[in-house]
Amino acid sequence: MTPNPINPRPNPVPVPSSLFPKRHRRIFTTDHRIIGIQYLLLALVSVVIGTLLSLFMRAHLVWPHWAVPFHGPILPEDYLALVTIHGTIMLFFVLTTAPQAGFGNLILPAQLGSRRMAFPLLNAASFWLTAAALLILLSTTFVPGGSPISGWTAYPPLSAVASAGPGQGLGMDLWLASIALFAVASTISSINILVTILRHRCEGMTWDRLPLTVWGWFTAALLSIIAFSVLGAAILLLFCDRHAGTSFFLPAGDLVAGTLHGLNGRGGNGSPLLWLHLFWFFGHPEVYIAILPGLGVTSMLLANFSFRRVFAYRTMIATTLMIGFLGILLWGHHMFVAGLNPFASSAFAISTMAIALPASAKVLSWLATIWRSRPSYKTPMLFSLGFVSLFIAGGLTGPILAQPILDEYLHNTLFVVAHFHLIMGLSAVFGLFAATYYWFPLMTNRMMSEPLGRLHFWLTIVGAYATFLPMHLAGLAGEPRHYAQILGVPNHAGVLLARLLPLNRFITYAALFLATSQLLFLYNLLRSLRHGAPAPPNPWLATTLEWHPALNPFAPQPAPNSQSPSQSPEPIIVHRAPCHYETTPTGEIFLPQWTPDSLADTSAEPAFDVKPE
């Protein structure tokens, strides 16, 4: 394999610079590291808002008469608006933005041995489009009618008719504009990532030597371009239904809010099922867009802290690509109760169960990598193990929902909420925590507190399972996911939901515990920015290029050659795959990707005395 057939000349060694440039250039910059931090800060603000909204929802379910300060009691339409904005913020502006655009910008070029992203100006433009999309979304709260109530899935005809309910007028238009902007920004960012990987790999960085983190970003970028293009087209069609008199999603004679639609020459031969197909063709790949970077980070960190090579490295590359490919084919399992042809349901069920094969292969590789090792249980390693635990726990319920006959009962219950929060939400968040603790030295030249980090991990893992495992029981009992209240419902359904009140109280208390635990992370983050211990050049004994002295902005640099000061520095050359660790009679050593083979025996980094126990 050639390292880079399009651009075979090695990239010159980047000149390290301060992470934060001059004050007037901090905001409007094309520096990929600054843009990555801007994405992460935007995601941090978003996750705080989204978490607060979820707590309002949980509090309303168990204390329905509680009055929110400065607002008053939460009405049913307020509750549905909370559901809509919470889901939209968390899915788009946290789970998509932070792992792919945030850490992708911050780390990806360095892992390739490059000084920059392929298109710096487009990179900056994609961030500002994302920020504008978030502001537009948040502005829906303050317009007449408030935020939309059609959920983050925006099912028509509720989303296609402005008079369908509160928030479905201007609020819904702003929601569509926000997601359309986000789709454009994500497509631009994904193209940037793909071109950077294809054209900006340094000499020796062949495809089979790419870190698994890069493979995660690569596959997620491919999915993003396909999925967000379809979502953008669907949003355009829905906007036309709302304002141009079309009927892509509105059937004839549809009665919405007391008004009969599809008459008086407006057409009316559309189908809401078209929206379901288009939306879920985006929606299910979005699950893997959120989780694939975490899969790559976890694979690399487990090997790093176990001082082992990744078991079946090329197989792990293949499973990443296979998960991405199969992820495009599974959208129909969200529509088992929508009237699909039974043969189509069977095909989607089989393909959904098939994706368990590459996912299981990844789990087996992780277990084989750490088997009989002596791991260093630093905070990034703990969150990586937590990712594995949540990935398995959430994945076990996937085959259950893949059965059409079972999904008919469980669809739209809290069982589904518990499933996707474990497999997509919390797994991705644990990957983000692992990445933050691991790469924090590259952002600040300081270490985050290990005692606080470990306490944060244990509080978070306990709170996560305490919150979402009981939701499976509530879902099995039949509790719907979008009911604004579970008390006061008439007939037998009310009796059933009233019996679930103690379980819902426990879930709410657990959610409050989980959210409060994150204050410890925020404290650790802010404290470490100024008072964290100084970070060594390679604190984790890592082998990937972001820790190369010429790419690490805080690593000490060799003095210039006094005899030939104008001589260019040696180029970065990759000599092996990452995670090259060995045990020798003299101790354990690790070989970074940039160490030449001819010097491996004499210059391999000793790790026997410094490997944490």
> SS3 string of 420-450?
HHHHHHHHHHHHHHHHHHHHHHHHHCECCCH
What pLDDT shows up at residue 611?
A: 45
610 domain residue, yes or no: no
pLDDT at 436: 96
User: In this structure, what token pair is assigned to residue 314?
Assistant: 């090329």
Q: What is the pLDDT of residue 255?
A: 77
Among the residue ranges 4-8, 110-114, 398-402, the one predicted with the least confidence is 4-8
Residue 579 included in any domain: no
Going along 28-78, which residue ranges are E strands?
A: 67-68, 72-73
> Are 305 and 375 contacting, i.e. CB atoms less than 8 angstroms apart?
yes
Amino acid occupying residue 120 = P
Please check whether residue 82 lies inside any domain of the structure: yes
What is the mean pLDDT of the segment spanning 125-144? 96
Helix axes of 103-112 and 272-306: crossing angle, nearest 10 degrees = 50
Q: Is residue 171 in a domain?
A: yes
Tally the domains of the chain: 1
**Encoded tokens for 419:** 């499933």
For residues 588-599, average pLDDT? 80
Question: Residue 11: which pLDDT band, with cuts at 50, 70 and 90?
Answer: very low
**Residue 7, pLDDT score:** 43
pLDDT at 165 over 70: yes
Q: Is residue 75 part of a domain?
A: yes
- Edge-to-edge strand ranges of the sheet holding 580-584: 580-584, 587-591, 605-606
Q: Is residue 334 part of a domain?
A: yes
**Domain membership of residue 460 as a residue range:** 27-531
Report pLDDT for 374: 87
Residue 126 in domain: yes
Which positions ≥6 away from 306 have C-beta within 8 Å?
Answer: 369, 370, 373, 374, 375, 376
Task: Say which CATH number the domain at 516 has.
Answer: 1.20.210.10
What is the Cα–Cα distance from 520 to 539, expressed in whole angstroms?
23
Give dist(CA 30, CA 124) in Å, integer: 6
DSSP category for residue 526: H
- On the question of pLDDT at 562 being above 70, the answer is no
Per-residue model confidence as pLDDT tens digits over 480-519: 998 888 887 788 778 888 899 999 999 999 999 999 999 9
For residue range 336-362, list pLDDT tens digits in order.
988 888 888 899 999 889 999 999 999
In a domain, 303, yes or no: yes
423 vs 435: CA distance, rounded Å = 18
Whether the pLDDT of residue 21 is over 70: the answer is no
For residues 565 and 535, what is the distance between their CA atoms, to the nearest angstrom?
29
3-state secondary structure of 282: helix
